[in-house]
Structure 1
Amino acid sequence: MAGAVEIPMIVYLMGGGAMLFVLLVGGAVMSFSGGEQVKSRRLGTVTKRAKVDEVKKKESGIKVIDDGRNAKGLDKVIRKLLPNPNLLRQRLMQAGLETTLNQYFIVCLGVGVFITLLNYKVSGLSLVPSMLFGVGGGLGLPSVILKWLIGRRREKFLGKLPEAMDLMVRGLRSGLPVSETIKTVGAEIEKPIGTEFSRVVDDLQLGRTMEESLWRCADRIGVTEFRFFVVCISVQRETGGNLGETLANLSEILRKRRAAKLKIKALSSEARFSAYLIGSLPFVMGGILYTLNPGYISKLFIDPTGITMLSVGGTWLTIGFATMAKMVRFEI
């Protein structure tokens, strides 16, 4: 193409290194959140005692260990590539998907090939940068979508959980056993609450205990509030007491907890909007300048001073994003 400026390969390599550094900095800031660590420790302390009896029961039964020796074909390749395939399988269940690891791997591969061809054929990049973008997109885009699906499903579950507890309280006060109230919730409440409670009923019909069935459901959902619900039922079955009153109190606590979260979200909306607006300005203005005068802005990608400016600016922009995200995130 006449007048087009050829960008050296070193620019792509330096840009990829800067992007990797930015992602590592952002991930490190997010992963060392004190609130998440405190919540995990508190939840582990609360649920440890409730799981002791279930562990003892499972130790006396027959265990089937999946060590990967019987894996064949694509399963064997996935087990070698993924350090912990069970974690990915659990995330797929938490998203409410019936997708297997093979299907997820094929989707990632298809997304990567599509992005590679798009950059190579349409954008005119060379093969190596196109493959780098393809690998990043094939691994990152499905993971981002999966995380979004998990968050959306958890929000729906939390929104209906107090209503499900109220329905169980009315059933318990009328004299129904716990298993029947769970069956009623599975039939009356819409998904994902109804779907998960129906699975609990199916597990009970297959011969599993109440605690085991509820903990399996808690692992599929991954919601802290539901683990509190399971602990209440487990402790009541061991020590006795008025389960209806306990669930009614827990339902009220969950409603207040959700109301506080929504209030915090509303109060921090201005800061979040400012972060989105300020963060998008460099990319929007860069796109406008590239459209109007490509030769003018292309010096940033060719001149060493411009490359240094882009790297420093991208690093500080990511640090600012991480700082603002931590400022508007509160654990209740």
Structure 2
Amino acid sequence: MDLDTRITLTTGVALLTCALAVAGLHAYARGRAQRAELVERLTSAGQVHGSSRRRFHTLDRRLRRTGTGRRLELKLAATGLDVTPGEFSVYLLAAVAGLWLVGQATLAPFFGPIAGLLGVWAAWQFLTWQRQKRIEKFINQLPELARILANATHAGLALRTAIGMAAEELEAPAGEELARVANQLAVGHSMDDALGELAERLPSRELVVLVTTLVLSNRAGGQVVGALRNLTETLEERKETRREVRTQLSQVNMTAYAVPVLGVGSLFLMNGVKDGALERMTGSPVGQGAVVIAFALYAVGFVLIRRMSRIDV
């Protein structure tokens, strides 16, 4: 084989390799784009719960790109509410503006910003309460979930198939959350990542134990049936214990919310007894400082009562 033939052959092989490399990169990029589009569609479908039309698309897209927007999105997803971060932000701003005007009109101009801040705090507390209620409901479903997974794996089904079966049989929120996990597994997410996101959305000790058991069994290939059945009995006992503790602390929790309500009610009572009293009181720096200190003390009392009544089971 002469030198010209070798040069021609080498050049042809190099060109063929480059062409195959370009085709491979193009196929890889197209596959990643299709996968990202599918993940976004499944995620959006899970978040809006089948809603056909959303509002404030531009604001919602911009919020999702920020760290605060992503944290808000995660919190809204944990609450199960049919609302996007953009919609929640607009509704919150409208509520704050309304409370600001009502506080100025009914009490005094000084109370407008305070009423707006109280609106933000109330909205965030509502999300926290809604999220905690969803977590409690999910925890109550964990024994049945563990039982379904144990029976399915005992029958020879794979863990991925067992999760899909549990998503179909269980009601919300367990059914919705497991359906989201099944969708993530279907588009290529690992079992560790999908279950880890579930534990992040609905944080609780019981769910962490269940997720750890499933992840370790899936990773090491161990016997998951016995572990799940033992875990089912433990979750049933913890469910009853949590119910008793929640019943015992219900009065204390109501006291924590009654303290700030009484403080705000006293302002309306004072202004009702003598019209314009609050406006005259907040007309000086001393009166404004006293009002701020009073609200701060009410907030400290609320936090302390909540902290003292918190018992981790």
TM-score band, normalised by shorter chain? 0.5 to 0.7
Cross-structure match for 1:209 = 190
Work out which of the two has the higher radius of gyration on C-alpha atoms and give 1 or 2.
2
What are the equivalent positions in structure 2 for 1:1-332 lying under 5 Å apart?
74=59, 78=63, 84-97=68-81, 99-119=83-103, 122-123=105-106, 125-126=108-109, 130=112, 132-133=113-114, 135-136=116-117, 139-276=120-257, 280-294=261-275, 301=282, 310=291, 312-332=293-313
Cα distance in 1 between the residues matched to 2:253 and 2:81 = 30
C-alpha change, 1:283 and 1:184, in structure 2 (3 Å) is: same
Residues 262-321 of structure 1: CA deviation (Å, up to 9, x unaligned) = 222233344445555566544444533432334677765457776665555544444333
Cα distance in 2 between the residues matched to 1:267 and 1:207 = 45
Q: Secondary structure at the match of 2:136?
A: helix
The answer as to whether partners of 1:183 and 1:198 remain within 8 angstroms in 2 is yes
C-alpha change, 1:96 and 1:272, in structure 2 (3 Å) is: closer
- 1:142 partner amino acid: A
Cα distance in 2 between the residues matched to 1:157 and 1:79 = 26
Cross-structure match for 2:52 = none
Q: CA RMSD in A?
A: 3.6
CA-CA distance at 1:192 after TM superposition: 0.9
Deviates more, 1:294-303 or 1:229-238: 294-303
CA-CA distance at 1:252 after TM superposition: 2.2
The answer as to whether partners of 1:109 and 1:138 remain within 8 angstroms in 2 is no
**Which segments of 5 or more consecutive residues in structure 2 lack a partner in the other structure?**
1-30, 37-56
- 2:95 partner amino acid: V
C-alpha change, 1:312 and 1:207, in structure 2 (3 Å) is: closer
C-alpha change, 1:297 and 1:200, in structure 2 (3 Å) is: closer
Residues 51-85 of structure 1: CA deviation (Å, up to 9, x unaligned) = xxxxxxxxxx97999xxxxxx964686479x6533
Q: What TM-score do you get using the length of structure 1 for normalisation?
A: 0.64
C-alpha change, 1:272 and 1:114, in structure 2 (3 Å) is: closer
The answer as to whether partners of 1:110 and 1:138 remain within 8 angstroms in 2 is no
- 1:197 partner amino acid: L
Q: Secondary structure at the match of 1:287?
A: helix
- 2:274 partner amino acid: N
C-alpha change, 1:214 and 1:309, in structure 2 (3 Å) is: closer
Q: What TM-score do you get using the length of structure 2 for normalisation?
A: 0.67
Q: Secondary structure at the match of 1:84?
A: helix
Q: Secondary structure at the match of 1:111?
A: helix
Cα distance in 1 between the residues matched to 2:234 and 2:215 = 19
